[in-house]
Structure 1
Amino acid sequence: MTESITESVTESIIESVAEFIQRHDAGRVPELLALRYHRMQVDALAFFRGSAPLYYARFRAEPLLGASPAAWLCGDAHVENFGSFRGDNRLVYFDLNDFDEAVLGPVLWDVGRLVVSVLLAAARFGLPPAARQALAQELVAAYAAALAAGKAYQLERATARGVVQHLLTAVAQRRQRALLAGRASRRGGWHLLPREAPTLRPLPPAEHRAVLHALEAWRQAQGHPPCGPLLDVAGRIAGVGSLGVPRYAVLAEALRPGKLPRLLDLKAAAPAAPAIYCPGPQPAWPSEAARVVAAQVRLQAVPPALLQALALAGQPFVLRALQPVADKLDFSNFTHGAAGFRAALPTFGRLLAWAHLRAAGRQGAAGPDELMAFGEAAADWLPGLLHFATAAKAVVREDFHSFRRACRAGQLPTAP
């Protein structure tokens, strides 16, 4: 197993880590790249979150992963890509919540990436190697058991337990007014506050007008517009992996008179990082945004409100509502400690399995019976997967240190 990992690394990465990331980030908003690289320097998990293309370039040839059944993948499965949101049926769920890298690929690509993230996150708590391995094994065992059961469930407040239930209970109390506070003001007419809100940035006047006019034209062309007339737009700063791609926060009137305005997220959709390495052909999509939306609808129990693909000036974007209930279990500042982290991991494993089962048999994915049989045969692949994840984690840490040295040497821009 170790030899195959080493061979994959040697064959797939010729340039330095910094050069690879620079090449991948070409075309992103320049002033946001310094912030992106600053966030990636926090620790190895933050780097891992922001370097999915490098991960797949490193490990796409790992035989154990590639031999697993084909499935619709999240593509960027890690411990901080699960969170709460309000579905289009008005209920609040906890589920996978990022599908930018979604592809049709070997099912263990998702599981392996999630396990590597568990090992990296466990290091934040100072857990010894044996404890980290035990946590990873618990997660994979929960995944395999849920897959073998062959039934996809959903997680809401009534069915959640532990830290996930605490999160869903807490976010259920949040209201739209809290979401708008600090981001928007009604003084002089509703408008955004890009110079005050840390998650917003002002746009050049020409870009501001172009985005607002194009989006309003799109809204008016809809038979049933998802919101009222648009009021304002600003650049949006969020995440790590996609930071720097064109992304906007949009303020729009509510459909019902007297209601507070809505905040929308409009994010450019780029090709999925693992797509070029997938062993089988990908379906033909009208756009990358259509791929993201279709995958999210398939993999989540209930999609979030307003989720849809659209095009602005020929570029694909994904539109969704920004919600006061949206949150996640943040392991960079996890107040529940190692015990809470451990308690959440089996839930993550089951959620990933349920997502794979929901999309079974769709456009080239293995059917439910094949996925169930794979889960039942976990004893055949689980030890090898844990071995891979341990070796891959070491490579990721090496890449992280190489990246941080490059930033400190001035090869990559960084922000204070």
Structure 2
Amino acid sequence: MTPISATSASLSAFFQLHDAGRVPALLPLRYHRMQADALAFFRGSAPLYYARFGAAEAVAGGPVGWLCGDAHVENFGSYRGDNKLVYFDLNDFDEAVLGPLLWDIGRLVVSARLAAAHFGLALAEQQACAKQLLLAYTSALAAGKAYLLERATAHGLVRQLLKTVQQRRQRNLLAGRASQRGGWHLRAYKSPTLRPLPLAEYLAVRHAVEAWRQQQPSPPCGPLLDVAGRIAGVGSLGVPRYAILAQSRQPGKLPLLLDLKLALPAAPLAFCAVPQPAWPTEAARVVAAQGYMQAVCPALLQPLTLGGQPFVLRELQPVADKLDFSNFTQDAAGFQAALPVFGQLVAWAHLRAAGHLGAAGPDELRAFGASRASWQQEVLAFSREAQLAVEADYMAFHAACHDGALPTASGL
């Protein structure tokens, strides 16, 4: 572990340093959301997690592969791919790096323990959840074939999310975010997921994206109609992010909603000894890793450089389609039933990325999955130790917010 201590003063200093450069007005909301419980804090503190456990021996071994980098049980969701079909998969690759595969599975198992505690499960049941998740991951890895999770074969909360996206129409997506009155525009002053931008920032983003659009041989959308700041997530909340309303390329069709997000260096990178590919930008890294690991990428996914900064562009995916256990309507049994799916999806993502730019090949991954008896207990012990550390950090963070060392608010 690093010498960061679990005190309110040290945690306050850590987040003030890490969050420098984010939109100041959004930091109170970020810290408010992280106070919900230890799982929410875990979601929002990936850099702290790697500062604590980036050198942990229990998760440093095994094959090298492409990592999501921020694997946790709420980093899955349903979305419409660029082929217009609906998928359920890992859906956040901001922290993606080439590194030891156990970093992903270790972080995922820690999150499963925290989620089990969130549902009030006893320590023995938390351990059972961790074992169940590991078994699903290693079995899928040993099988050596990456599958797709389809609506016809999905169950429980996953099937529910897939069905919701399948039935959603563009008008549903625009509702509450955009208005046609007086010409199509975003409802930046009324939507809880949007915020108005200062005029200079508004014009800079709109002009830069429109210039990029006009330079494309086959533009993905028509002319831009409006731009607003976007408020979403926990870990990346405050990072410059925009919602863009654009005309459809097809006359008479409803406008499109796009998401544009600044790509920052990956949190695990400072602790990773594995040589990384030379990417032209951080956005190129995110898009490439997502392409390696996802079954099908979201529509319009691509890197952009705007004003000298790297951004990731994609079709906007609603927050409601991501798992969020703070608003989870099913009981603990529903969560437990979904655990094998989480393990399988991470294993399939690792298998898809096998052999890409320094990643271990599929044979090595299969052998690693089959040899789980040699490393499973170490990972389980690590996950319990990390859970306790995260819970201690959460209490210190909560105290820092309560004492006013970090600003918090219930909304904007």
What's the TM-score, normalizing by structure 1? 0.96
Alignment RMSD: 1.4
Query: Is structure 2 residue 382 aligned with structure 1 residue 382?
Result: no
Q: Name which of 188, 197, 206 aligns with 2:191.
A: 197
Quickly say closer, same or farther: Cα 1:225–1:53, change in 2 above 3 A.
Answer: same
Who is 1:361 aligned against?
A: 355
Q: Give runs of ≥4 in structure 1 deviating > 6 Å.
A: 11-15
Is the partner of 1:275 in helix, strand or coil? helix
Instruction: Output the CA distance in 1 between the equivalents of 2:4 and 2:45.
Output: 18
Instruction: Output the CA distance in 1 between the equivalents of 2:107 and 2:12.
Output: 21
Query: Is structure 2 residue 252 aligned with structure 1 residue 258?
Result: yes
Q: Assess if the C-alpha contact under 8 Å between 1:13 and 1:57 holds in 2.
A: no
Quickly say closer, same or farther: Cα 1:12–1:127, change in 2 above 3 A.
Answer: closer
Who is 2:23 aligned against?
A: 29
- Aligned pairs (5 A) from 1:267-346: 267-323=261-317, 327-346=321-340
Instruction: Output the CA distance in 2 between the equivalents of 1:399 and 1:218.
Output: 43
- Aligned pairs (5 A) from 1:167-206: 167-206=161-200
Instruction: Output the CA distance in 1 between the equivalents of 2:318 and 2:39.
Output: 26
Q: Assess if the C-alpha contact under 8 Å between 2:68 and 2:104 holds in 1.
A: yes
Instruction: Output the CA distance in 1 between the equivalents of 2:159 and 2:112.
Output: 20
Is the partner of 2:98 in helix, strand or coil? strand
Q: Assess if the C-alpha contact under 8 Å between 2:95 and 2:267 holds in 1.
A: yes
Instruction: Output the CA distance in 2 between the equivalents of 1:213 and 1:256.
Output: 22
Quickly say closer, same or farther: Cα 1:234–1:303, change in 2 above 3 A.
Answer: same
Instruction: Output the CA distance in 2 between the equivalents of 1:325 and 1:50.
Output: 16
Who is 1:3 aligned against?
A: none
Deviations 1:24-74 (A, max 9, x none): 111000001111111111111110000000000000111121112101000
Instruction: Output the CA distance in 1 between the equivalents of 2:322 and 2:406.
Output: 29
Deviations 1:232-291 (A, max 9, x none): 000000000000010000000001001000000000000000011112111110100000
Is the partner of 1:332 in helix, strand or coil? helix
Instruction: Output the CA distance in 2 between the equivalents of 1:132 and 1:341.
Output: 12
- Aligned pairs (5 A) from 1:25-64: 25-64=19-58
Is the partner of 1:16 in helix, strand or coil? helix
Is the partner of 2:358 in helix, strand or coil? coil
Cα distance, 1:332 vs structure 2: 1.1
Cα distance, 1:167 vs structure 2: 2.0
Q: Assess if the C-alpha contact under 8 Å between 2:70 and 2:107 holds in 1.
A: yes
Quickly say closer, same or farther: Cα 1:122–1:325, change in 2 above 3 A.
Answer: closer
Query: Is structure 2 residue 96 aligned with structure 1 residue 102?
Result: yes
Q: Name which of 396, 401, 404 aligns with 1:410.
A: 404
Q: Assess if the C-alpha contact under 8 Å between 2:6 and 2:393 holds in 1.
A: no
Q: Assess if the C-alpha contact under 8 Å between 2:11 and 2:397 holds in 1.
A: yes
Matched to 1:59, the amino acid is F
Is the partner of 1:245 in helix, strand or coil? coil
Deviations 1:292-341 (A, max 9, x none): 00000110001110000001100000000014697123211221211100
Matched to 1:40, the amino acid is M
Instruction: Output the CA distance in 1 between the equivalents of 2:58 and 2:134.
Output: 15
Query: Is structure 2 residue 136 aligned with structure 1 residue 135?
Result: no
Matched to 2:157, the amino acid is V
Instruction: Output the CA distance in 1 between the equivalents of 2:319 and 2:112.
Output: 25
Query: Is structure 2 residue 346 aligned with structure 1 residue 352?
Result: yes
Matched to 1:20, the amino acid is F
Instruction: Output the CA distance in 2 between the equivalents of 1:11 and 1:203.
Output: 36
Who is 1:10 aligned against?
A: 3
Who is 1:73 aligned against?
A: 67
Q: Which runs of 5+ in 2 are unaligned?
A: none
What's the TM-score, normalizing by structure 2? 0.97
Q: Which runs of 5+ in 1 are unaligned?
A: 1-7
Cα distance, 1:408 vs structure 2: 1.1
Deviations 1:102-148 (A, max 9, x none): 00011000000001111111111111000111011001000000000
Who is 1:156 aligned against?
A: 150
Instruction: Output the CA distance in 1 between the equivalents of 2:6 and 2:144.
Output: 38
Is the partner of 1:365 in helix, strand or coil? coil
